[in-house]
């Protein structure tokens, strides 16, 4: 069985190799040993993956052409929650299992959403800058609201949003959520499920947790931003493309919402500094897509990536399947 690592962000793949070693007659090919960072482009990938039985990828473009070129592949696993760089339909048409790890950073991302909220609600970053310039006046951070009297609105209610809701529950009893695909509402009697428009209108914090698809791109646009309270804050720890950034810039420049906390932008991570949002002054906090990260989350991710393949080979079904 030939297992190909196309690319990965981490120093090594020792954890994965150890778990994969329980399989019989495996050959592991690590393309990061050929090219620093691995091979990610369609044209260069095809010769190396044509006869692979399994792929482990991170940023590689697994296009229809790559999938159609593979003769033996049974499973493609991504080091991530999202699988937007894999041609899912093409894979399914060839009977290839596509796997991810949807729960490896639930704690970290939910912590980041809460942290951005607390930062903005308590003006931590702004106050830090003022103190460093010897300005101790509260006038420049007024008004601050009480979180326990505020309404938290969660856009989507998947694993991360649910954990975020549980954490916010320690601060306030006013939590609303919008998710047209979530059906187990009775399990969360302390959450009010409402329409997106109502959520935007009543929330003091709008925290976005939706996946990015063709249907959700610019889910929060000019009209939606216009529904928010002028005193509300917007937090996004999911995907940058969920927000129409041009509309958001206009709203911030016109002071039509109170603040924004973003861990994701609609540009590649390495280009955050070039974003127009990063050039704005005022109550906007941007972090470099660190929401997923802790040392523990990396270990969990690496283990589950390998176990997806182990389970697929041994039992016919991966741990997680798209």
* 54-65 mean pLDDT: 98
Per-residue model confidence as pLDDT tens digits over 117-172: 999 999 999 999 999 999 998 999 999 999 999 999 999 999 999 999 999 999 99
Contact between residue 120 and residue 308 where contact means Cβ atoms under 8 Å apart: no
Do residues 321 and 99 touch, judged by C-beta distance below 8 A? yes
d(CA 299, CA 289): 18
pLDDT digits (tens, 9 = 90+) for 252-261: 999 999 999 9
pLDDT value for 126 = 94
**Tens digit of pLDDT for each residue in 266-311?**
998 889 999 999 999 889 999 999 999 999 999 999 999 999 999 9
Contact 79, 57 (CB under 8 A): yes
Which DSSP string do the residues of 110-153 spell out, in sequence order?
A: HHHHHHHHHHHHTTHHHHHHHHHTT---STTT-----GGGSEEE
Answer CATH for 2-104+295-315 from 1.10.357.10, 3.40.50.720, 3.40.50.300, 1.20.1250.20: 3.40.50.720
Per-residue pLDDT at 84: 87
- Please give the CATH number for the structural domain made up of 106-286: 3.40.50.720
- Residues 63 and 53: their CA atoms lie apart, in Å, by 17
Q: What percent of the chain lies above the pLDDT cut of 90? A: 96
Element (H, E) at 29: strand 27-30
| Cα–Cα nearest to 154, from 133, 172, 132 | 172
Across the range 97-118, mean pLDDT stands at 98
Q: Do domains 2-104+295-315 and 106-286 have the same CATH topology?
A: yes
Judge whether residue 36 has pLDDT over 90. Answer: yes
If you average pLDDT over every residue of the chain, what do you get?
Answer: 97
* Start-end of H helices in the chain: 14-20, 42-49, 64-69, 88-93, 106-121, 124-132, 159-168, 196-202, 222-227, 245-253, 295-315
CA distance 144 to 122: 7
Residue 49 has pLDDT above 90, yes or no: yes
User: Which pLDDT belongs to residue 281?
Assistant: 85
Token pair of 200 as six digits = 């935007």
168-224 pLDDT per residue, tens: 999 999 999 999 999 999 999 999 999 999 999 999 999 999 999 899 999 999 999
| Mean pLDDT computed over 3-15 | 97
Angle subtended at Cα 196 by Cα 193 and Cα 200, rounded to the nearest 5 degrees: 105
pTM metric for this prediction? 0.90
φ, ψ of residue 16 to 5 degrees: the values are -65, -45
Would you state the pLDDT for residue 249?
98
pLDDT of 82 reads: 87
Q: What is the pLDDT of residue 207?
A: 99
Residue 259 host element (H or E): strand 259-262
Confidence of residue 93 (pLDDT cuts 50, 70, 90): very high
In the chain, where are the structural domains located? 2-104+295-315, 106-286
> Count of alpha carbons within 13 Å of 133, Cβ hemisphere only?
8
């Amino acid at each position: 069985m030939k297992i190909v690592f196309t690319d990965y962000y981490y120093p090594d793949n020792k954890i994965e190799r150890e778990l994969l070693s329980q399989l019989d007659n495996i050959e592991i090919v690590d393309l990061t040993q050929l090219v620093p960072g691995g091979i990610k482009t369609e044209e260069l990938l095809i010769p190396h993956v044509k006869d692979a039985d399994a792929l482990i990828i991170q940023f590689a473009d697994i296009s229809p052409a790559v999938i159609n070129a593979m003769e033996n592949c049974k499973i493609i696993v991504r080091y991530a929650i999202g699988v937007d760089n894999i041609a899912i339909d093409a894979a399914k048409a060839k009977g290839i299992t596509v796997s991810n790890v949807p729960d490896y950073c639930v704690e970290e991302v939910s912590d980041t959403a809460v942290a951005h909220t607390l930062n903005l609600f308590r003006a931590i970053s702004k106050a830090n800058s003022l103190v460093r310039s010897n300005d101790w006046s509260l006038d420049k951070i007024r008004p601050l609201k009480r979180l326990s009297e505020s309404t938290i609105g969660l856009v989507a209610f998947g694993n991360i949003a649910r954990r975020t809701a549980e954490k916010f529950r320690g601060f306030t009893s006013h939590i609303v959520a919008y998710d047209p695909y979530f059906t187990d509402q009775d399990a969360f009697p302390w959450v009010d499920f409402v329409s997106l428009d109502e959520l935007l209108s009543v929330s003091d914090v709008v925290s976005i947790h939706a996946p990015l698809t063709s249907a959700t791109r610019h889910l929060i646009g000019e009209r939606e931003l216009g529904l928010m309270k002028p005193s509300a804050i917007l937090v996004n720890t999911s995907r940058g493309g969920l927000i129409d950034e041009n509309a958001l810039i206009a709203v911030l420049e016109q002071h039509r919402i109170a603040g924004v906390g973003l861990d994701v932008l609609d540009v590649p991570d390495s280009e955050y500094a070039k974003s127009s949002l990063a050039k704005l002054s005022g109550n906007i906090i941007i972090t470099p897509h660190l929401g997923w990260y802790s040392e523990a989350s990396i270990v969990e991710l690496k283990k589950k990536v390998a176990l997806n393949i182990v389970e697929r080979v041994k039992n016919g079904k991966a741990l997680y399947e798209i």
